[in-house]
Structure 1
Amino acid sequence: MTKQKFDTVVIGTGPGGEGAAMKLTKEGQHVAIIEKQREVGGGCTHSGTIPSKALRHAVKRLMEYNTNPLFREVSAPKHMSFPQVMRWTETVIQDQVTLRSGYYQRNEVPVLQGRAKFLDAHTLEIEGPKGKARRIEADHFILATGSRPYRPADVDFTHPRIFDSDTILSLNHTPRSMVIYGAGVIGSEYASIFRGLGVKVDLINTRERLLTFLDDEVSDALSYHLRELGVLIRHDEAYSRVEADPEGVTVHLESGKRVRRDILLWANGRTGNTQNMGLEELGVPPNGRGQVAVNENFQTEQANIYAVGDVVGYPSLASAAYDQGRFVATHILNGTCDYRLAQDIPAGIYTIPEISSVGRTERELTAAKVPYEIGHAFFKDLARGQITGQTTGMLKLLFHTETLELLGIHCFGDQASEIVHIGQAIMSQPGNANNLMYFINTTFNYPTMAEAYRVAAINGLNRLS
């Protein structure tokens, strides 16, 4: 069996793998990338970020049409099925695949299809789709294999009424009702999507509140607006068993409750894709969630093998994985990296309404005994919000009471994941440039949603007087 030799081999074509491969090849390395699926893009493109956000966009536009008084005067409410919005989503996925395939073609990075397994620290065996194997060698490897939904052994995922966040995309009808087990980011997003299609949704949360990493005020707002949409949220619950039959699914809860609905979407946890890769034999054993430990340079116990993205755990964001990939590429090229990854990583949560935040929460600042004050801007008071009808939501600024340094930015409402980046840019500035006064002394276009920063800054400054 002949062996091909590369400088670096990247395993996985998601954001982390793409970021690393592009940086390395543009710096002159001979790079190959391995993908077990037929098309590039990884879980981000095919089953995670892109499909869920495209679905959400389509459903939100439908909701806006049906609730806007302007359109109600001229047309009856419109309805769409889940398969209809999935057809739109599939066009977005294919656009992404075409775009990302072009990156590898233009930069002459071979995409090797198959499953990779380490034979030693410098040799991989790739089993192709027809069982044909090849071996390749490299000086360095980067694990960017992503993650998949966690599936407990006592839940029958072969049943046609039980889904996870991957298989839900193959749903061929719009159910009348569903229960979502797990109220993390994925569960909350899908609760919004299906409720927007008119599905009766029960959202079972294993914790005491939604998305506990968020600022409490934002978490409370999300709970309120999901309930306003018609989602029934059950907090502090855990399942004891799941029963499915041809007519529906019953989730038995440890509290004694029984929730019976047409389908079940299991959205409770994810597992890193590291199984059967020969990592244990190299002294790189994944933990119980399929994740591998890395040092500050994203090196595993085997120094020439790096890992980025979901397989290293937090923050498990596509944006962070891409940056990690480029960071690792720089380390491979130079033996060191003269820049640090951002500590304050923005979170974007595509519920309806949308959420985004960066920096610290009130709870964190209080625990750290940092004196802070709050500035609010409510979307219902902004001219742009009134014009567009997107009046639900707010921008919240947390800042130091003495220095006026920005400490946290939390946004809830339409375009939150776009709006937050204005504050992120200012918050990342050194010294006195990271200051609430920037927003007060800057002229914003009017009417815009960005004007919320000026309104919130003045609101906060007034609290100090």
Structure 2
Amino acid sequence: MSRVTHASIDHQATRIVVVGGGPGGYEAALVARRLGADVTVVERQGLGGAAVLTDVVPSKTLIATADWMTIAERAADLGIRLPVDTAKAQHPAMRRHIVDLDAVNTRVMALAAAQSADIRARLEREGVRVVTGTGRLDGPSRVVVEGAVGPGGGDGRDGTDVTLDADVVLLALGSTPRTLPTAQPDGERILTWTQLYRLTELPERLIVVGSGVTGAEFAGAYNALGSDVVLVSSRDRVLPGEDADAAELLEGVFRSRGMTVMSRSRAESAVRTDDGVEVTLADGRVITGSHVLLAVGSIPSTQGLGLEEAGVRLAPSGHVVVDKVSRTSVRGVYAAGDCTGVLPLASVAAMQGRVAMSHALGDAVAPIKLRTVAANIFTAPEIATVGYSEEQLKAQGSKYVTTTLPLARNPRAKMLGMRDGFVKLFAHPEAGVVLGGVIVAPRASELIFPITLAVSHRLTVDDVASDFTVYPSLTGSIAEVARMLHQRED
């Protein structure tokens, strides 16, 4: 085993070792480097981690492709017709665009690889070392990289281990898809969301187990691409943790597009058959399909890496316990991203990493305020939220008023043929401060920012209503809802 001691490079620099090159890791590395630290990133599968290589970037690229199909469905409403000979074709597939899934997935993975390469180039340009291998803690101030490739490492073929001494360690370990003992993925018919991109042909009948964010996003995408989709939900509705009005609207859209949504139906097992899969439900019913996607959550990648031996406290769920500036229970050891269980969002992981390094290196830092985190579900239409949800406001007994404006009333939405969606705001009844908001619309992720600013800076509905919006624009509905919440002063 070889040892690399970074103090030989700069005796004054704080030695930072980041374990994990996802958003939490690489953003932390950039901040630490700019603050003068000596930084090494250890990553086993590629810069960007699962977020770039198998999760966020690939899934959102696939969904963006599927979104073109939903846009095309509105063409007839706008007066755009297919050629007469195509429109009269007997086979339905000849009356719509044809999806070449092999080409789609080739593009998806190429974009993910290009993004990963861009991140590596950025880190190296900033002077960050990148070591490929599996990092584990050997005490609170030492990281062992198994099979290390990169500065100070071997070629990885002889199992070379490298020890990195550190003044500060950041754990950005990520998570992996959860599976069921009775439904083991094989990468061909029984799949996790990281394995979908191996498919070369569109699933004829895709069974999606799990109706949370991941399940809803992929169910909607494959439905739009042309698969017959069955969405199996153990709860009363899809997206059980989201705004009830938004979830109800989306489920209605799913059903109107031909998707089968099975509520209160828990999957017990999934097995392969000669030409497909069989999913058995808790009540004994059996659903047959060509493929099944398991979207039943994720588990933190924290086991077997020496965390508990080093004194790092883990929650019963396996997540690393951190405070609001990302400190763990061990001095000098921080954690960021999905392994902490704070919020499974790339934006939150990145912020945790940046805050951790600023705190560790003595720069000005403010604790993360989860109330100001904007989140988006990339279905069609999208669902974007920020601030307090209605369920949270009710649970804590807060006073609030709310107003909802259907998207169909917006002039710009009418021009674009958009019918499904709404803008909803929550505000304090006396002070008028914006407490939260929900937008359901195409590109809701691009529309939520004004409400994020309002929540973050404690703006009132009158503040939002009094500023100009472009006419016609979708953001005009945000100002209109704010005007509807105006309280007249006596």
The aligned counterpart of 1:22 is 30
**How far does residue 394 in structure 1 lie from its aligned partner after superposition?**
1.0
- Tell whether the 8 Å contact from 2:70 to 2:380 is kept in structure 1 after alignment: no
The aligned counterpart of 1:124 is 143
Question: Could you give the per-residue CA deviations for residues 182-227 of structure 1, whole angstroms, max 9, x where no partner exists?
Answer: 1111100000110011111111112222223322111211211111
Q: 1:364 to 1:136 in 2, by over 3 A?
A: closer
Please, what TM-score do these two structures have when normalized by structure 1? 0.94
- Tell whether the 8 Å contact from 1:270 to 1:289 is kept in structure 2 after alignment: no
Matched pairs, number: 460
The aligned counterpart of 1:91 is 110
Please, what TM-score do these two structures have when normalized by structure 2? 0.89
SS in structure 1 of the partner of residue 309 of structure 2: helix
Q: 1:297 to 1:428 in 2, by over 3 A?
A: closer
The aligned counterpart of 1:404 is 432
**How far does residue 285 in structure 1 lie from its aligned partner after superposition?**
5.5
Which amino acid counterpart does residue 339 of structure 1 have in structure 2? A
Which amino acid counterpart does residue 482 of structure 2 have in structure 1? A
Q: Give the Cα separation in 2 of the matches to 1:410 and 1:464.
A: 27
The aligned counterpart of 2:5 is 5
Q: 1:464 to 1:394 in 2, by over 3 A?
A: farther
- Tell whether the 8 Å contact from 1:373 to 1:463 is kept in structure 2 after alignment: no
Which amino acid counterpart does residue 342 of structure 1 have in structure 2? K
The aligned counterpart of 2:151 is none
| 1:372 to 2:400 alignment | yes
Q: 1:142 to 1:204 in 2, by over 3 A?
A: same
**How far does residue 462 in structure 1 lie from its aligned partner after superposition?**
8.2
- Tell whether the 8 Å contact from 2:51 to 2:346 is kept in structure 1 after alignment: yes
Q: Superposition RMSD on alpha carbons, in Å?
A: 2.0
- Tell whether the 8 Å contact from 1:375 to 1:458 is kept in structure 2 after alignment: no
Q: Give the Cα separation in 2 of the matches to 1:161 and 1:464.
A: 63
Which amino acid counterpart does residue 208 of structure 1 have in structure 2? D
Q: Give the Cα separation in 1 of the matches to 2:401 and 2:330.
A: 47
| 1:47 to 2:74 alignment | no
SS in structure 1 of the partner of residue 342 of structure 2: coil
The aligned counterpart of 2:190 is 162
Q: Give the Cα separation in 2 of the matches to 1:358 and 1:90.
A: 31
The aligned counterpart of 1:110 is 129
- Tell whether the 8 Å contact from 2:325 to 2:368 is kept in structure 1 after alignment: no
Q: Give the Cα separation in 2 of the matches to 1:135 and 1:54.
A: 37
Question: Could you give the per-residue CA deviations for residues 226-283 of structure 1, whole angstroms, max 9, x where no partner exists?
Answer: 1122221122222222221221111111122211111110010101112221122112
Q: Give the Cα separation in 2 of the matches to 1:384 and 1:193.
A: 25
| 1:439 to 2:447 alignment | no
- Tell whether the 8 Å contact from 2:43 to 2:134 is kept in structure 1 after alignment: yes
- Tell whether the 8 Å contact from 1:380 to 1:386 is kept in structure 2 after alignment: yes
The aligned counterpart of 2:92 is none
Alignment of 1:113-192 (within 5 A): 113-128=132-147, 129-130=156-157, 131-158=159-186, 160-192=188-220
**How far does residue 464 in structure 1 lie from its aligned partner after superposition?**
11
- Identify which of 440, 461, 464 aligns with 2:486: 461
- Tell whether the 8 Å contact from 1:376 to 1:455 is kept in structure 2 after alignment: no
The aligned counterpart of 1:383 is 411
**How far does residue 20 in structure 1 lie from its aligned partner after superposition?**
0.8
**How far does residue 177 in structure 1 lie from its aligned partner after superposition?**
0.1
Farther off after superposition, 312-321 or 285-294: 285-294
Q: Give the Cα separation in 2 of the matches to 1:163 and 1:274.
A: 23
Q: Give the Cα separation in 2 of the matches to 1:62 and 1:296.
A: 42
The aligned counterpart of 1:71 is 80
- Identify which of 208, 221, 233 aligns with 2:249: 221
**How far does residue 120 in structure 1 lie from its aligned partner after superposition?**
2.1
Identity of aligned residues (%): 26
Q: Give the Cα separation in 1 of the matches to 2:316 and 2:179.
A: 13
Alignment of 1:180-219 (within 5 A): 180-219=208-247
Q: Give the Cα separation in 2 of the matches to 1:110 and 1:78.
A: 46
- Tell whether the 8 Å contact from 2:190 to 2:270 is kept in structure 1 after alignment: no
| 1:339 to 2:370 alignment | no
Structure 2 regions of 5+ residues with no counterpart?
7-14, 87-94, 148-155
Q: 1:372 to 1:295 in 2, by over 3 A?
A: closer
SS in structure 2 of the partner of residue 403 of structure 1: coil
